[in-house]
Copies of this chain bind each other. A is one copy, B any other.
Amino acid sequence: MPTEPALPRNFLRPCVLLLLRESPAHGYDLVERLRAFGFSGEDPGRLYRTLRTLEGEGLVRSAWEPSAHGPDRRIYAVTGSGMEALHQVVPALRETARVLDGFVSRYAEFVDIESPSSVSSSR
């Protein structure tokens, strides 16, 4: 794993919504699947808090499910307004990606000038 990314504020929320849209899951499972989006897996408490907040806002719903081995699980699924909320935030995240690409290439521009060796491609 490279450097830890500097994620946007509240990025956890859309990530949870997207993952739940792909398939319902319980928190402990989401902890693992969230690694793909740059979340280290430490601080599961943060995720559980976010899940309860999302449920309070009606963006996800949950139901307890007994587990064969281990304690019961609270299975979460995204709701209709949850999907709406996801659709609404995506443009901002797209915009963020655009800005960051701009920043990086603008940074790379003068780095290439200063050290013409070990050139990083301009993507």
Contact = CB atoms under 8 A, between A and B. Distances in A.
For this chain, the copies found in one complex come to: 2
A38 interface: yes
A104 B89 CA distance: 11
Contact of A6 (B4, B8, B102, B107): B8
Q: Which 6 A-B pairs have the closest CB atoms?
A: A5-B95, A97-B100, A6-B8, A5-B96, A3-B91, A38-B99
18 contacts: A3-B92, A5-B93, A5-B98, A5-B99, A6-B10, A6-B89, A8-B96, A8-B100, A14-B103, A18-B107, A37-B99, A37-B102, A38-B96, A86-B107, A93-B100, A93-B103, A96-B100, A97-B100
